Every structure is written in C-alpha cells, then in structure tokens.
A = this chain, B = another copy of it.
Amino acid sequence: MSRLLSTAPAADGFHMPGEFEPHSGCWLAWPERPDNWRWGAKPAQAAYVEVAAAVSRSEPVTMAVSDVQFEHARTVLPAEIRVVEISTDDAWIRDMGPTFVVDGKGARRGIDWRFNAWGGLDGGLYFPWDRDDRAAAKVLEIEGADRYRAPIVLEGGSIHVDGEGTLIATEECLLNPNRNPELSREELERTLHEYLGTEKIVWLSKGVFNDETDGHVDNLACFAAPGKVLLSWCEDEDDPQHEISADAERRLRAATDARGRSFEVVRLPSPGPIEIAAEEAAGIDAVEGTLPRGPGDRLAASYVNFFLGSTAIVFPLLDERHDDEAAEILRATFPDREVIGVPAREILLGGGNIHCITQQVPAPVHR
C-alpha cells in the first residue's frame, strides 16, 4: 500500500539521502522497445542482466518487466532477483522511477515526479510516455512507501544530492523550457528544496556533449561523499566535452556546499569519442516520434554514469583505452566497495548508462 500525501517532504521532516548512504535495495526496468534498442533489445537485455547480477552482489534487486517480456526476463535473470510486472514506455527507472526520501526516524516515502520523456512534445525522446509516468506509483505500492506526487516535471538523473543540504544540477536540463516553463528559476529552486529537503543548489551549466536528456547531471558529475565530487573529464581541448567539463570544474571550485565546505573534485577520464556504428544503427526500428539513431552519431559516454551501491560500484566498461584507469580511480575513491565493471556499450546505444537504469531504495535512517 502507498498513501497519496497532500503535503511536501521537507515540511514533513523528510529529505533525499546521498546515493553513497546505505541502501535497502535497487530497482531496474527491462528494455524492450525495438525502436530504441537494436535487434529487438536482446543485446541490451543481456547487458541489463549483467548489471542486475552485479548490483545484486551489493543489495536486493527488483526488475520491473512488462507482461509480454515477463516469462523471458524471469528465465534469463538470476533467481535471486525479484521480477515484478510494471508496464513502462522504456527502461530508465532512474528517470521515471520514484525518488526516495527518509526522515531520520525510520520512515521512508517516495516522490513521484511528473515525467514527460525528457522534454514532452518539445524535444522529448518518444511519445506517449504515460506508462513511464505511472511507474513510480507502482514501485511505491510494492515498497509500501507513501507517495508525494510532485507538481513539477523532473527526472531522477537530473539531480544529485549530498544528503546534507546540497543539490547539483545543470541549467541545460532543469531550466530547459521543455520541462517546467511556467516556473522561474527561483520558483523551481524553492520546489526542489521543498521536495528534496535541500537548502542550496550548485548549478553547473551543461551536461555531457550531445546528451539527449538535455544534459543530465548524472552523466557528468556525482557525489562520492559530502564535499567530494567525481567529474567526467576530457583532456582533449579540441573536443567540445573539454570546455563543458572545465566550466563545471570551475563552478565547483568556486562554490561551497550547504554546510559551507569547499568541494574536492576528482577527475574521471572520459572514454574516447564513441559513435554509433552503421551495423548498430541498422538493427533499430524506424518509428515516427522516437529519436532516430544514425550511424556516426556521437554517444554521450561517461564513466560517471555508474551505480553507487551499498557495498559495490557497478560502472560501465566503454573503451579499452580508459576502462582500467576509470576502475583505478573508482577503487581509490571507494576503497571499501567492490568495483565491478560491466560491458555497457549496448546500454549506451540506448541513450544512457548504468546510473540511468538503476534506482536505489535507501535504507531507513534512525538518528
């Protein structure tokens, strides 16, 4: 059961914890649509199975699957993964799933943001998106968490918090007129604070180059701990990613967080520019209204797009020239966690990566 609440989290004493805090579990949603995933989504499904198996080394995993794919998913997923039916329009539970908040007294609730497929009819990635928009409420019913239906469009991947009052986000995404055009920046900030229990937003400018989400922060930067940010970094000054990362770093170094701390910024190398191969583009259904994927299109690849589990880091293997270096930095940053690399090109081809396809359920907090 999940009661629909008419209040807002912060006023009720709830806030979103950092992803690095302990989890009770993690959700994923099964990829299926053949107009986004090549070869009927079979290669992507195999990658999701590997991600789910890796995450389940850290915490219990639930996979949301349509009725049509239920039997197949149940068969190919490890037995320890819970499989439940939830219809979706695609497979990005970070963005359409709930954001969980906790109160420090052992209670946990969920925020059900409005979802418009990353921009609605003005640049969104597909139509319709009503099943995605219903998914968060269904997750909360199964988790037994009461529900806040937020009054704004927001995807979980467009925000990161430190659990101590600070939120990072990009202007490119959150202030994009295809999300909440009726709100001023100040009104949007106020609503974010009311729902996430934050006090300060550190605004970055743009997300990763050519990111079809309009620059989700979770592909560019994330908190490793309060005061410590991992940033996707590109050395090549001729690559448009260089200036995006440099600008983000400058903003972070100039800012302080909600507690007045300066940020330590850890650079995580970008994978080399990765493009869609002709053979990869050929396996995708052509459908009007869905973002087309053409050969030679640059993909928004980033190692920052990893899952930060209770006891494991699950990060995408994307580029043999950089995978080892990324793993090394992640190990140094999270010395108490197992660092697991999973081949993730097939997820990247669909438009995101491991952080985008996972949604943690934070453990209840008793303070």
Residue ranges of A at the interface with B (Cβ–Cβ < 8 Å): 1-4, 60, 67, 70-71, 74, 79-87, 131, 134, 137-138, 141-142, 144
A129 to chain B, nearest CB (A): 13
* A140 smallest CB distance to B (angstroms): 10
Contacts of A4 in B (CB 8 A): 79
Distance in Å: Cβ of A248 to nearest Cβ of chain B: 39
Checking B70, B80, B131, B137 against A134 with a beta-carbon cut-off of 8 angstroms, the contacting residue is B70
4 closest Cβ pairs, A-B complex? A67-B87, A1-B82, A3-B79, A85-B85
Q: Is the CB of A71 within 8 A of B134?
A: yes
**With the chains together, A9 CA to B72 CA distance in Å?**
25
Minimum CB distance partner of A60 in chain B? B1
> CA separation between A84 and B48, bound complex, in Å?
23
Q: Distance in Å from the Cβ of A203 to the closest Cβ of chain B?
A: 35
Contacting residue for A138 out of B70, B141, B144, CB 8 A: B70
Residue among A4, A67, A71, A86 facing the most chain B CB atoms (10 A cut-off):
A67
**Chain B contacts for A81, CB-based, 8 A:** 1
New contact pairs (10) apart from A82-B142, A83-B141, A84-B141, CB-CB < 8 Å: A1-B60, A1-B80, A3-B79, A67-B131, A70-B134, A70-B138, A71-B134, A84-B84, A85-B85, A85-B138
Chain A binding site: helix, strand, loop or mixed by DSSP?
mixed
Asked if B84 and A138 make an inter-chain contact with CB atoms under 8 angstroms apart, the answer reads yes
When distances are taken between beta carbons in the complex, the residues of chain B under 8 Å from A1 are 60, 79-83
A2 to B3, CA, bound (A): 27
- Docked pose: A74 CA to B144 CA in angstroms: 14
B-side contacts of A79, CB under 8 Å: 1, 3-4
Query: How far is it, in angstroms, between the C-alpha of A82 and the C-alpha of B141 when the chains are bound?
Result: 6
Q: How far is the CA of A81 from the CA of B84 in the complex (A)?
A: 18
A138 contact set on B, CB distance < 8 A: 70, 84-85
A286 to chain B, nearest CB (A): 26
A and B contact pairs by CB, cutoff 8 A, 30 listed: A1-B60, A1-B79, A1-B80, A1-B81, A1-B82, A1-B83, A2-B82, A3-B79, A4-B79, A67-B87, A67-B131, A67-B134, A70-B134, A70-B137, A70-B138, A74-B141, A82-B141, A82-B142, A82-B144, A83-B141, A84-B84, A84-B85, A84-B138, A84-B141, A84-B142, A85-B85, A85-B86, A85-B87, A85-B138, A142-B142
CB distance from A113 to the nearest CB of B (A): 16
Q: In whole angstroms, what is the CA distance A366 to B134 when docked?
A: 40
Q: Determine if B74 and A137 form an interchain contact, defined as CB atoms under 8 angstroms apart.
A: yes
Min Cβ gap A361→B in Å is 15
Nearest-CB residue, chain B, relative to A87: B67
Give Cα A137 to B81, complex, Å. Answer: 14
Q: Please, how many angstroms separate the alpha-carbon atoms of A138 and B2 in the complex?
A: 19
Chain B residues with Cβ below 8 Å from A141 are 74, 82-84
**Distance between A65 CB and nearest chain B CB, rounded to angstroms:** 10
